Structure 1
Amino acid sequence: MAKGFFISKAVAGTCVFVAIAATATIIALSVVYSQEKSKNEVLPTIDPSITTTTQLPTTPSGPKEPWQQYRLPDSLVPITYHVTLWPRLEPVADNFYIFSGNSKVVFKCVKATDLILIHSNKLNFTMFDNFHARLSGLNGAEAPQIKKSWLEVPTQYLVIQLHGSLNPGNTYELFTEFVGELADDLGGFYRSEYYEDGIKKVLATTQMQPTDARKAFPCFDEPAMKAVFYMTLLHPHGTVALSNSMNYDPVNVTVEGHDLIKTSFMATEVMSSYLLAFVVCEFTHIENMDTGVLIRIWARQKAIDEGQGDYALEKTGPILSFFENYYNISYPLNKSDQIALPDFAAGAMENWGLITYRETALLYNPEVSSNGDKEWVATVIAHELAHMWFGNLVTTRWWNDLWLNEGFATYVSYLGADFAEKTWNMTDLIVLNEIVGVMGVDALASSHPLSSSEDEILRPEQINELFDAITYSKGAAVLRMLSYFITEEVFTKGLHTYLETFQYQNTVYQDLWKHLQMAVNSEGISLPNTIEEIMNRWILQMGFPVVTINTQTGQIMQTHFLIDPDTPVDRPSPFKYEWIVPVTWIKNGAAEKQFGLLQKMLQTLTLNCSRLSTKPEDIPVINRAQIIDDAFNLARAKIINTTLALRTTTFLDKEMQYMPWELARRNLNYFYLMFDRSEVYGPMQAYIKKKSSPLFEYFKDITSNWTNTPDSHTDQYNQVNAISMACSTGVDGCQELVTNWFKQWMHDPSNNSISPNLRSTVYCSAIAAGGMDEWDFAWRMYKNATVASEADKLMYALSCTKQPWLLNRYLEYSLDPNMIRKQDSTYTIVYIAGNPIGQPLAWDFIRAKWDYIYKNYGSAMSFGRLISGVTKRFSSEFEYKQLLQFKEDNAGQLGSATAALEQALETTRANVNWVALNKKQVYDWFISQTSTR
């Protein structure tokens, strides 16, 4: 898309007003530890008679003591950590694993204090003279005696009160020994399990972001508390130990009669605790040094032997070089390890020098993986490598600015992937993948601004709530907008000075605005407002505007766009919900040309609403897509009539391009969610069948009766749409086609000839049309899959059955880690809820199981995604009351689902109102379009 063009979607009105949605501009566990005794100085001896989780009473009137606050005081700053950990890869009791270790943290006193607060969560400490730690003074400083120590559970602190004060300027060392559970909760230091040749393998790995480093060892666990880390890992023979930095040569040691390997690592760069990572595993790797940096891809032996890491190794070097040029700063480290983990809650994590991934985000097998899988690998690698500078080298001070970190990496991941795969047109696909989707969330009155004040984001659950679509996708959209209107060249110039000035330090978002403004000024670019004035309106208030242009007078107006304009907006805005829209004042030639073309096109469409139906090729493909999407969103907001939005789809029987079809499919899916249990369903199916039949025949023809793969990246996507819509609406020949493909595979399980691109939709269609035999076969194939992306396709397809008893069985599997990995539980339940037969089953299931889910899947499950996925069909007063009851029943036990539940309530209310207003006219319109008269 052209730089400077930000009102990216246009809709033809029926008279003189044209409304434009400005889319592209925005957008306890109470751990029971087994007694673990050690005869080695570096390992703790745990005395079970000592209680180490004592909690002092809190003040009823509210938190007043420092240890009752969720933020660390500013009296101490860490300098270095020396951490030794020994994970046990064999259980010490029935399915109970532990790790033990010690930590020496050297810290400086900057303000006199008689109190040490250091984060600790779920660790059991060795006691020294009834205290949890030993304190020493360094460089001649004398350490005061410890008076009292305890664990403050709610705020996750080890609290140490002293008889005297620590003095400013002095450095001290705090030594602790501890044991923790090496649980399968996917947070902190945890275990992952997999089978290889029928043998169970256990590995130990980490996920520290945002607040789980404290589960591995006591630390000052806030982003601004940067330090240098020296890691040592003790591990069994036959395993390898990895961490952020390169290791010294491993040595053999004997501990408690165990022959172990001791691997120590070089000092890390100064960095935040959440970026620390370490892994002990039996993995192997492939490597190269083509860019002068050691790049290694680690995975299961079989995955590496099958070449599943080859694509990642091929693309990591070029993407790393791209970002070195983009930032104009060399990669700060001497190696880049990337490891694919069987169990990982997130998609990937940007640990500095040791990036951890889900297997689906790093591994690619061209014989089994689809083009979508390949794109995912490329964009995730680019996202994580972008963080090596923006996020790791320079880190935001507190989590309230998470949007800057993640939004930036999301935006530039498309630039990195576009560099690595030049034919994919990734710079346009960002609109589909990020911007369009987040509009629906940000158009809710229960949305939230990108940035909040630090005191609004304190508790771990509040921090975890920030990892949502607003942070990632809207963050990407507004930074993309900023880059476009000041030009990418000026944007990267400002980035360079920002990163160079603040390397190894922490910042707030205003620091970036300052450096971008310096770059704008140095280039002589004249803006009517400062960068800060423009951008603060996009980040300090939620939502985005709908811009209305009077094509006769040229008058431009804006209002806060809400999907349900009748919903009250309770959150105050410092700018009264007004935005500075760049397209209204950009003066460079490229932007003027684009805006001029847009104005002319809009005038033409206003005078002739049938243009799409008669000569759609006269309108650029991306604008055809934008017209459809804007129309449906404006109709949901009652700005235009719903039937006008539906009219924008009448040309689809002549449309063969991906972007218009994809946005039409997504918007019509809302109609399915609202009407697939009503009389509207029949004529709606007939209409979509009529429109999608030519697309099915088109791809049948260009692929020589489905024997070839389309050349274009987006054509490969659209082929999936063609088959999916054709089979779901009953286009002749489609169901027979996919059922036969699936039966051939069932007949010979060792020979799956179904195209990897088509497998997800083929599996789903065949299982939906079949019964127990098809489901059981798919389940066996799922459990035996050695390629994670293939397992994911089957995991989705299993939710497509129309047999309620199979869906209920699948729901029970979703909370059994022996059946469904914890990392996949959310997706499984949401997939089932996507099936109209499965939706009420899934809703009943999570209501009945919420207490268990909350207590046992807290780190592994995305509660926000779960709530939104299971409730997306809600459109009745009865369902709204059920949601309210769920909120009341689980008050105090919602955690990171709190915001998602409020959004679900608002969305349900909007759905109720929309259905009441539109059901009859939508039914009549579909009837009129499919009548044989």
Structure 2
Amino acid sequence: MGKGFYISKPLGFVLFGLGVGAVLTIFALSVVYSQEKRKNEVNARDGTRMVTTAAPHSTSAPSNEPWDKYRLPDTLLPAYYNVTLWPRLVPDEQGMYIFTGKSGVALTCVKETNLIIIHSNELNFTLTSEMHHAKLAGLGGTSAPVILKTWFQIQTQFMVILLKDNLQVGKSYWLYMEFRGELSDDLGGFYRSQYTENGVKKVVATTQMQPTAARNAFPCFDEPSMKAVFHLTLLHPPGTVALANGMELDTENVTIDDQEVLQTRFEPTEKMSTYLLAFVISEFTNLRSPSEANVLIRIWGRREAIESGQGDYALSVTFPILKYLENYYNTTYPLSKSDQVALPDFAAGAMENWGLVTYREQSLFYDPKVSSNEDKEWVVTVITHELAHMWFGNLVTMRWWNDLWLNEGFASYVSYLGADYAEPTWNIKDLMVLQQVQRAFGVDALVSSHPLSSREDEVITPDQIDQLFDTITYSKGAAVLRMLSEFLTESAFAKGLHNYLHEYAYSNTVYTDLWKKLQEVVDADSSIQLPASINEIMNRWILQMGFPVVTINTRTGIISQQHFLIHPDAVVDKPSDYNYEWFVPITWMKSGSNMGQHWLLTKTASYEPMKTDTDWLLANLNVTGYYRVNYDPQNWERLLTQLTADHKIIPVLNRGQIIDDAFNLARAQIINITLALRTTKYLYEEKEYIPWESAIRNFEYFFLMFDRTEVYGPLQTYLQRKVKPLFDHFKVITSNWTRKPPRYMDQIPTNLKITVYCNAIAAGGVEEWDFGWQMFKNSTIAAEAEKLLYGLSCTKEPWLLNRYLEFTIEPNLVRKQDVAFAIVYISGNVIGQPLVWDFVRANWEHLTKDYDDGSFFFGRLIRGITRKFSTEFDLQQLQRFKEDIAASSFSFGTQAIEQAIEQTKANIKWVSENKVQVMNWLIEQSA
């Protein structure tokens, strides 16, 4: 049950708007896990970019040659690598930052071949002889064939080595290469990050390898199943420190090319995938755990941030979370240390590199004097998410990216368990319903959704892999695994996980391997009764997109299911072996007392215990199942009556569910819109966060659709009336805003900062905006800078918004990691939305050319800036933009545009059908 009222950003706008009379603003910030960047350009630049040797045939025609396929052939397996890298932290004569490297890999031949195909992208190799970029030697007395030719396949990112004779099956070989590359600022592969400290620019060399960027740092077999041991050596300037996955073995002074440098060697890694490699060279300092701890924990970051205590909270929770996860998995943490590094420039929220986790600063640093409770919650859940991967993902890894959902969905689910252990008074597990389940519902109700798991041959190219890092993978994955854990029981689920980790440690799996280990636990426990095998139950949830709406008729006891689509006229053109039917675990209660559970295994069934004429019936208790619920009209009325009479009888999570289900059922034209609105009438009595947040999120859609129409005023008035008692409640418990309330999640001063910034900028002019901009530029706390980044988007001056947009494409003004967020923030401003749309269409090539994960970056932009689209003119412009994209060489983002077109069509239809009804109902409420 909910233990506190947490002030979200959207709700903060409502409360502050009542206090200062400002226009009600609804805008939910979202921070999502994303993937790393892959470089887009391979053109030579001042002789330092790779100049590729032509392949022996044209790649434009269809080819069955192994080098024209995106997957590695199954002929060779790596055993271990020796890699030495030397990044230069100052620019060369051409103004470029470069790195040089030497690498060798021990290969075992498992199938006879005269080819060595290894990933390499944008690396310029030293020729060992004419047309030879590598040397090959035999190991263990084996002789090596002569290299005839080496060349590069740009499209598939392979170095191809043609041998005179075949490699021998069962024999091992050593492949050696020397190379150089650019330490660019594109946030992917081996890249540079910059910051200023005491007026001096500092450069950091760091990495982001997931999913396909290790090949940008050195030649490697860059697929998750190609696990190996890595021996790393880093050369770096005096005064810097080098970190890698393994613990430092030694650091010594050496002289190379008349330069004094430090050389740091590291312990060999465990057997692991290339995407988990990481190394960082910086002037960072650290906090560390007590020497008596059996695992060394270090929190690294900018000296100013560490010395001001911003890393203290992360250090305090990391060891307890690690111990919790050890107990949860019943498996010891397999490494001797856990370094966690806060980077000034980082595309994703964080990355689970084994032993060296990297973060955005705001995902690891917390300042209690400045940061909000939401910032603190973000830090502890992100840390837990990444540490959960140390076992689930790192120790045992998916065989191929089509099962990414199992890694990320699982870590997203477990992040709430570990965070709840670290902060037991927060009731943070309840927030999973808002932050994961409802979030997944929003995307999975579209016909442009996709199954959690696809066939391997459907996910081949780097762009296709990138597109898997989405809401379905993370949030639906978490929701479905939470449901599985609930109907198995948490203890049985954890036991199955332990058996899975024990059997497949240091190897790779497919999702059915987990089902197998869980089924063994079920078979051994007679108390667990399932209607079918785990494989039969769960395949319906992961091999077909979407989810059901379960309809319960309490007059007849008939229950049924159907594929829930938010746009009822949408056509599903993706076939399903299960005909979009699910095995649904239904938990239910009557009038707050009688409870039960029932499995719905068919389209329609009769279940007598759900029949009632007088009691209200509530299904999907605590929203443990991944489905929505609809009822007959009489039961809806009984639920509404109970909410008005005594809402606390209904569990808090289900109060949020009733609101969220009703609004979405109405959008899908399953129930009337006025019924959905009536679920909010009781809110003047509600003091808990989850129901309010569900309401605000759903009203956000109304504001998006109506903020330029005559509906906006009555809507604002209605919501203000509902919020007023809540505002008064907080005024009382804070003694007229002079003290913090006792409950942690009721503490609101720093939580309202973003609202204060927004309203101050909106009420001011250029002087206030410039002041806010200087605060943003001078901020040394990432979470504070992010709030200011949003606040600057609230100005009502079009020319200031245009100037802000121009700032976003200047890397020295807005960091690349923040560009998409800033533009989407501006689009949330009624005045800024058309400016952003024009700006993005005029600059989309420039906006995306420096981003290796362009599909994710572009998708975030499109989804954010088209949310308000609800007219035929909007639709025409969007379709024309799609045509422009298709006619260009732009190869990604098409899924986001299709989703935007689908959503815009639905918005047009919804507004035309509901505008008058909503207006009339709101007017009636004010009478």
**Common topology (TM > 0.5):** yes
2:857 to 862, 865, 873: 862
How far 1:34 sits from its partner (Å)?
A: 5.5
Q: Find 1:917's aligned residue among 913, 919, 922.
A: 913
Distance 2:414 2:489 in 1: 14
TM-score (norm 1): 0.89
Structure 1's unaligned 5+ residue stretches are: 3-27, 37-47, 720-754
Map of 2:96 onto structure 1: 96
Match for residue 798 of structure 1?
A: 792
**Separation of aligned partners in 2, 1:678 and 1:883:** 22
Q: 1:54 to 1:888 in 2, by over 3 A?
A: same
1:55 to partner: Cα distance: 3.9
Q: Distance in 2 between matches of 1:873 and 1:604?
A: 34
Alpha-carbon contact 1:657-1:715 (below 8 Å) kept: no
Structure 1 contact 149–158 (Cα < 8 Å) conserved: yes
Match of 1:14 in 2: none
User: Is 2:605 the counterpart of 1:601?
Assistant: no
**1:29 alignment counterpart:** 41
Q: 1:299 to 1:319 in 2, by over 3 A?
A: same
Q: 1:275 to 1:608 in 2, by over 3 A?
A: closer
CA contact (8 A) 1:81 1:230 kept: yes
Residue number in structure 2 paired with 1:535: 538
CA distance in 2, matches of 1:447, 1:712: 40
1:866-899 Cα deviation digits (max 9, x unpaired): 1100111111122112111111111265544222
Provide Cα deviations, 1:429-448, integer angstroms capped at 9, x if missing partner. 11111111121110001101
1:707 is displaced (CA, Å) by 1.6
Comparing 389-398 and 521-530, the one that deviates more: 521-530
Aligned equivalent of 1:506: 508
Q: Secondary structure at the match of 1:410?
A: helix
- CA distance, structure 1, for counterparts of residue 60 and residue 121 of structure 2: 23
Q: Is the CA contact 1:383–1:409 (under 8 Å) kept in the aligned structure 2?
A: yes
Q: 2: CA distance between counterparts of 1:643 and 1:894?
A: 44
The one-letter amino acid paired with 1:637 is: A
Q: Would you say 1:890 and 2:885 are equivalent positions?
A: yes
What residue is the counterpart of 2:688 in the other structure?
657
Q: Percent same amino acid at aligned positions? A: 61
Matches within 5 A, 1:178-217: 178-217=179-218
Inter-partner Cα distance in structure 2 for 1:594 and 1:896: 45
CA contact (8 A) 2:616 2:638 kept: no
1:552-606 CA distance string (max 9 Å, x none): 22111000000011100011111000000012799xxx99547889985327654
Give how far 1:804 is off.
1.0
1:253-298 per-position Cα deviation (integer Å, ceiling 9, x unaligned): 0011110000011110000000000000000001014541000000
Partner of 1:557: 560
Listed as ranges, the matches of 1:40-439 within 5 Å are 51-93=51-93, 95-130=95-130, 131-289=132-290, 291-439=293-441
Check whether the contact 1:443–1:562 (CA below 8 A) recurs between aligned residues. Answer: yes
Answering whether residue 807 of structure 2 is matched by residue 813 of structure 1, we say yes
* Residue pair 2:87, 2:99 contacting (<8 A) in 1 also: yes
**Cα deviations across residues 711-757 of structure 1 (Å, max 9, x unaligned)?**
334434xx5xxxxxxxxxxxxxxxxxxxxxxxxxxxxxxxxxxx322
Q: Tell me the distance in 1 between the aligned counterparts of 2:59 and 2:594.
A: 60
Structure 2 contact 43–51 (Cα < 8 Å) conserved: no
Structure 1 residues 354 and 31, CA gap change in structure 2 (3 angstroms): farther
Q: 1:494 to 1:896 in 2, by over 3 A?
A: farther
Question: Which moved further from structure 2: 288-297 or 238-247?
Answer: 288-297
Structure 1 stretch displaced more, 284-293 or 390-399:
284-293
Q: Aligned partners of 2:702, 2:94: CA distance in 1, in Å?
A: 50
- Aligned residues of 2:86 and 2:234 also touching (Cα < 8 A): yes
SS of corresponding position for 1:250 = strand
CA contact (8 A) 2:453 2:542 kept: yes
- CA distance 1:924–1:606, change in 2 (3 Å): closer
2:846 matched to 1:852?
A: yes
Cα deviations across residues 772-803 of structure 1 (Å, max 9, x unaligned)?
Answer: 12111111000000111110110111111111
Gap change, CA 1:591 and 1:110, over 3 Å in 2? farther
**1:56 Cα shift?**
4.2
Does structure 1 retain, via aligned residues, the 8 Å contact 2:551–2:561?
Answer: yes
Q: Say whether the 8 Å CA contact 1:33–1:180 is kept in structure 2.
A: no
RMSD over equivalenced CA pairs, Å:
2.0
175-184 or 898-907, which moves further after superposition?
898-907
Given the superposition, is the C-alpha separation of residues 387 and 608 from structure 1 closer, same or farther in structure 2, using an over 3 Å criterion?
A: closer
Structure 1 segment 712-727 matched on structure 2, within 5 A = 712-716=743-747
* Match for residue 626 of structure 1 among 632, 657, 670: 657
- Contact in 1 for aligned 2:587/2:595 (Cα 8 Å): no
**Aligned counterparts of 1:56 and 1:694: Cα–Cα separation in 2:** 75
Distance 1:93 1:845, change over 3 A: farther
Q: What is residue 19 of structure 1 aligned with on the other side? A: none
Q: 1:59 to 1:244 in 2, by over 3 A?
A: closer
- Seen in structure 2, the aligned counterparts of structure 1 residues 163 and 585 have a Cα distance that, compared at 3 Å, is farther
Partner of 2:701: 670
Correspondence for 1:695? 726
Distance 1:609 1:418, change over 3 A: closer
> What is the CA distance between 1:909 and its match in structure 2?
1.1
Q: Give the letter aligned to residue 757 of structure 2.
A: Y
- Distance, in Å, in 1 between the alignment partners of 2:810 and 2:924 is 49
Mapped to 2, the partners of 1:775 and 1:686 lie a distance apart of 29
Picking from 895, 899, 905, the partner of 2:901 is 905
Conservation of the 8 A alpha-carbon contact between 1:605 and 1:611: no
Q: Distance in 2 between matches of 1:218 and 1:406?
A: 27
User: Quick one: structure 1 residues 432 and 710, their matched pair in 2 at CA, closer, same or farther if it must change by over 3 Å?
Assistant: farther
Counterpart residue identity of residue 616, structure 2: M
Please give the per-residue CA displacement for 1:25-65, whole angstroms capped at 9, x wherever unaligned: xxx413545668xxxxxxxxxxx9x9544344435442311
Cα distance in 1 for partners of 2:308, 2:835 equals: 39
Whether contact under 8 Å (1:185, 1:859) holds in the other structure is no
Q: Which residue of the other structure, out of 577, 582, 588, is the alignment partner of 1:579?
A: 582
CA distance in 2, matches of 1:584, 1:650: 26
In 1, Cα distance between the equivalents of 2:885 and 2:533?
46
- 1:733 alignment partner in structure 2: none
- Note the C-alpha offset of 1:827: 0.5
The 1-side partners of 2:610 and 2:264 are apart by 63
> What CA distance in whole angstroms lies between the structure 2 residues aligned with 1:285 and 1:591?
55
- Could you tell me which runs of 5 or more consecutive residues in structure 2 were left unpaired when the two chains were aligned: 3-39, 599-608, 618-633
Contact 1:495 1:515 in 2 (8 A): yes
Cα pair 1:811 1:845 within 8 Å, conserved: yes
Report the Cα offset of residue 156 of structure 1: 0.4
Q: 1:927 is aligned with what amino acid?
A: I
SS of the aligned residue for 2:905 comes to: helix
Taking the aligned partners of 2:850 and 2:47, their CA distance within structure 1 comes to 23
Q: Within 2, Cα distance between the matches of 1:115 and 1:424?
A: 57
Comparing 402-411 with 437-446, greater Cα deviation is found at: 437-446
Structure 1 residue aligned with 2:601: none
Partner SS, residue 271 of structure 1 = coil
Query: Structure 1 counterpart of 2:129, which letter?
Result: D
- Asked if the contact 2:284/2:301 (under 8 Å) is kept, the reply is yes
Check conservation: 1:318, 1:420, Cα contact below 8 A. yes
Among 440, 443, 465, the alignment partner of 1:441 is 443
Give the secondary structure class of the aligned counterpart of 1:610.
helix
User: Which residue identity is paired with 2:881?
Assistant: F
Report the 3-state secondary structure (helix = DSSP H, G, I; strand = E; otherwise coil) of the residue aligned with 1:492: helix
